[in-house]
Amino acid sequence: MTAVLTPPSTAHRPAVRAGAAGPATLVGLEVRKSLSTRSGRSLAVAAALLPPAGAALASAVSEDPLLAVASPLAMMGMLTALVLLALGVLSTAGEWTHRTVQTTFLLTPQRGRVLAAKAASVALLGAGLAAVSAATSAAVLAVFEPTAAWDGVGRVLAVAVVSGAAFAVTGAGIGAAVANAPAALTGTYLVVLGVLPVVQAFRPEITERLDPTAAVLRLAETGSGATPALVLTGWVVVATVAGAVVTRRRAVA
Amino acid sequence: MIEVSGLTKQYGERTVVADVSFTLEPGTVTGFLGPNGAGKTTTMRMMTGLVPATSGTALVDGRPYPELPNPGAVVGTLLDASAVHPGRTGRTHLRLLAAAIGVPADRVDEVLDLVGLADAGRRRVGGYSLGMRQRLGIAGALLADPPVLVFDEPANGLDPEGIRWMRDLLREHAARGGTVLLSSHLLGEVEHTVDRLLVIGGGRVVADGSVTELLGADGTVVRAERPADLRSLLEARGHAVTAEPDGRLTVAGATPAQVGAVAASAGLALVDLRPAQHGLEDLFLQLTAAA
């Protein structure tokens, strides 16, 4: 390429922030990072639009009218959460895969602050996108299924938003622990969508205490139960702690 | 000022950097030389907190790098030009860095222009050549116009114009009181850019001194129209003379003035008279081979 190089002139030094970036700045930065790549934007769009599109398609092809919207909405919320899991994974593991983590830690060497900002940013993105997805799905069902009952829909929407945030944070923790986007994505989905359903067939009492997708559905449908809440919390805490420990120790080679 | 003291890195039983110590003063460009695997990059990464040191310290303005309030405002680093998300545009990449450092967003256009990427700023980095990525990395390092620059192999992929531009950039930075640490395999490039050489081999610093000191004269090289006569004359005056096949004579321990005076006293015409110097490459190979 032909480039015109400007003679190195440094007539004035730019205004520079004196201290470290505040938490709000770091969270905003991480949100921008997540949405500044095609993969991040695609996942955000998929999380927001795939469930309502699925709801519209299912309603359009179904011959029987829907009796109640709560259960389909809960399924749509779970689908959104599964997509947001990938958004979370990419926010952390993607940095290691593309080696951008080097610049991130050069500019903010306190790795715990970076990971906290990433967790907060994907929680915000997850909750926001899950809210959009759930609201749009509800609107679609309202149009296509005018006779269906709306009992418990408020609870389902709330669970969808919470689970969206929880899955995104879990993904960020897993991504930070594995530090390799393809491996983290493959491993996570293999466990959640492959291993746990197989275990469910033989030992349902085990998956009841492990499966995050089943926990989301139970929370949405019943609105109660300490076990599903603990399962979701456990995934968030274990993944985040593992990510923090590994991130703190790993050399950026 | 950067003070590195006893920096050591071990992976199990293997020591990749051993007791490296040096001080970088403001107003200087220091060349960090060594063959592949000598420990240059690991040393730079330990200095910036990316790789934990097994022992030793590296202080920037009296503090470890991770304790600087806003490191990007103090140290501009280019350690790996490929460490950029290929899906982002160059401009977006720099805007994210600007937000992290806390410089105005319009500074991004200034540095893009400075490094000659103004037209390519809106293109995805995945389509950049290695030279363009190097320039993008340099642009990122210059965002805050920091007093310290740490560049690892910045000339890789740059064309001759780019190399000259970078050389001027680093020299001007040092002239303004800045501190520059520059690693490179391009020995000729370093020779023309740096004030001081830090040579590392086998994880240890094997030479540390000014270019003049390390490449300094150790005799005189002379060519005469009648080399045999000049050689006899010099030897008669007690000088140790080595004759080269091409007719050059190397007079150990003598200055050009002394050799010229001897030749003039006998009316011998000279066609070349200059201080003998170590070639940087010879010095480099000699020092690092011994390590």
Distance CA A146, CA B94 (A): 50
Q: Show Cβ contacts of residue A216 under 8 Å, excluding neighbours closer than 6 positions.
A: A74, A77, A78, A81, A159, A163, A228, A232
Rounded to the nearest 5 degrees, what angle is found at the Cα of B195, between the Cα atoms of B191 and B196? 90
Give chain A's contact residues with B (Cβ, < 8 Å).
Answer: 1, 3-10, 13-21, 25, 28-29, 32-33, 36-39, 94, 98-100, 102-110, 251-253
Q: Is the separation of the CB atoms in B147 and B178 below 8 Å? A: yes
Residue A100: per-residue pLDDT: 96
Q: From the list B50, B99, B168, which residue is nearest A102 (CB)?
A: B50
Rounded mean pLDDT, B157-183 = 92
Q: Do A20 and B70 touch (CB under 8 A)?
A: yes
Q: Do B73 and A16 touch (CB under 8 A)?
A: yes
Q: Is the separation of the CB atoms in A215 and A228 below 8 Å? A: yes
Q: Do A98 and B83 touch (CB under 8 A)?
A: yes
Query: How many Cα atoms occupy the beta-carbon half-sphere of A91 within 13 Å?
Result: 40
Taking CA atoms, B116 is separated from A6, B109, B111, B136, in Å, by 7, 10, 8, 9
Which of the pair, A99 or B252, is modelled with greater confidence?
A99
- Matching residue, tokens 């004269």: B217
Average pLDDT, chain B: 90
**Which of B70, B94, B152, B170 to mutate to test binding with chain A, by most A CBs within 10 Å of its CB?**
B70
Distance (Å) from the alpha carbon of A132 to chain B's nearest alpha carbon? 26
Domain ranges of chain B: 2-214, 217-277
Band the pLDDT of B32: cuts 50, 70, 90. Answer: very high
Residue A127 has pLDDT above 60, yes or no: yes
pLDDT in tens, A189-224: 999 999 999 998 999 888 889 999 999 999 988 866
Is CATH 3.30.40 what the domain over B217-277 is classified as, yes or no?
no
Six-digit token string for A248: 């703190």
Task: Give A-chain residues touching B70 at CB under 8 angstroms.
Answer: 16-21
Distance (Å) from the alpha carbon of A174 to chain B's nearest alpha carbon? 20
Residue A1: per-residue pLDDT: 46
Distance CA A88, CA B291 (A): 47
- CA nearest neighbour of B135 among B112, B119, B167: B112
Is CATH 3.40.50.300 what the domain over B2-214 is classified as, yes or no?
yes
Burial B128-154 (b: 16+ CB within 10 A, else e): beebbbbbbbbbbbbbbbbbbbbbbbb
Distance (Å) from the alpha carbon of A57 to chain B's nearest alpha carbon? 32
Residue B267 CA, chain-centre distance (Å), reads 44
Q: From the list B51, B161, B176, which residue is nearest A253 (CB)?
A: B51
Task: Give B-chain residues touching A32 at CB under 8 angstroms.
Answer: 96, 99
In this complex, how many residue pairs, one in chain A and one in chain B, have their CB atoms less than 8 Å apart?
Answer: 140
**Which of A2, A4, A5, A118 to mutate to test binding with chain B, by most B CBs within 10 Å of its CB?**
A5
Q: Name residue A155's amino acid.
A: R
pLDDT in tens, B211-241: 777 776 578 889 999 999 999 999 999 888 8
Residue A10 has pLDDT above 60, yes or no: no
Predicted complex ipTM: 0.89
Distance CA B90, CA A36 (A): 11
The H or E element spanning position A248 is helix A226-249
Taking CA atoms, A80 is separated from A27, A185, A212, A239, B211, in Å, by 22, 16, 13, 19, 62
Task: Give B-chain residues touching A37 at CB under 8 angstroms.
Answer: 85, 87-88
Which of the pair, A10 or B16, is modelled with greater confidence?
B16
Q: From the list B45, B99, B145, which residue is nearest A14 (CB)?
A: B145
- Matching residue, tokens 């480039």: A3
- CA nearest neighbour of A172 among A55, A83, A81, A91: A91
> Under DSSP, is residue A239 helix (H, G, I), strand (E, B) or coil?
helix
Residue A184 has pLDDT above 50, yes or no: yes
Task: Give B-chain residues touching A99 at CB under 8 angstroms.
Answer: 80, 82-83
The H or E element spanning position B96 is helix B90-101
Residue B288: per-residue pLDDT: 66
Q: Do A102 and B135 touch (CB under 8 A)?
A: no
Residue B59 has pLDDT above 50, yes or no: yes
Taking CA atoms, B78 is separated from A253, B50, B148, B152, B233, in Å, by 14, 13, 11, 6, 55
Distance CA A198, CA B128 (A): 46
Q: Do B49 and A100 touch (CB under 8 A)?
A: no
Residue B156: per-residue pLDDT: 85
Q: Do B51 and A252 touch (CB under 8 A)?
A: yes
Q: From the list B65, B83, B135, which residue is nearest A103 (CB)?
A: B83
Q: Is the separation of the CB atoms in B275 and B220 below 8 Å? A: yes
> Under DSSP, is residue B36 helix (H, G, I), strand (E, B) or coil?
coil
Residue A64: per-residue pLDDT: 85
Distance (Å) from the alpha carbon of B213 to chain A's nearest alpha carbon? 29
Q: From the list B45, B83, B145, which residue is nearest A99 (CB)?
A: B83
- CA nearest neighbour of A116 among A243, A202, A251, A2: A243
Distance CA B116, CA A153 (A): 57
The H or E element spanning position A52 is helix A38-61
Q: Do B77 and A39 touch (CB under 8 A)?
A: no
Asked whether this chain's domains B2-214 and B217-277 adopt the same fold, the reply is no
Q: Do B173 and A10 touch (CB under 8 A)?
A: yes
Band the pLDDT of A66: cuts 50, 70, 90. Answer: confident
Band the pLDDT of B247: cuts 50, 70, 90. Answer: confident
Reported residue count of chain B is: 291
Residue B280 has pLDDT above 70, yes or no: no
Reported residue count of chain A is: 253
Rounded mean pLDDT, B156-177 = 90
Distance CA B149, CA B170 (A): 8
Q: From the list A14, A100, A109, which residue is nearest B65 (CB)?
A: A109
Distance CA A69, CA B14 (A): 63
Rounded mean pLDDT, B251-265 = 89
The bridge status of strand B204-210 relative to strand B196-201 is antiparallel
Distance (Å) from the alpha carbon of B166 to chain A's nearest alpha carbon? 8
Domain ranges of chain A: 23-249
Task: Give B-chain residues touching A29 at CB under 8 angstroms.
Answer: 96, 99-100
Distance CA B102, CA A180 (A): 29
Q: From the list A6, A14, A105, which residue is nearest B113 (CB)?
A: A6
Q: How many C-beta atoms surround the C-beta of residue A190 within 10 A?
A: 11
Residue A2 has pLDDT above 50, yes or no: no
pLDDT in tens, B117-129: 999 999 999 999 9
- CA nearest neighbour of A124 among A229, A34, A196: A34
Q: A109: nearest CA in chain B?
A: B66
User: First vs last Cα of chain B: how many Å apart?
Assistant: 28
The 3-state secondary structure of B226-245 reads: CHHHHHHHHHHCCCEEEECC
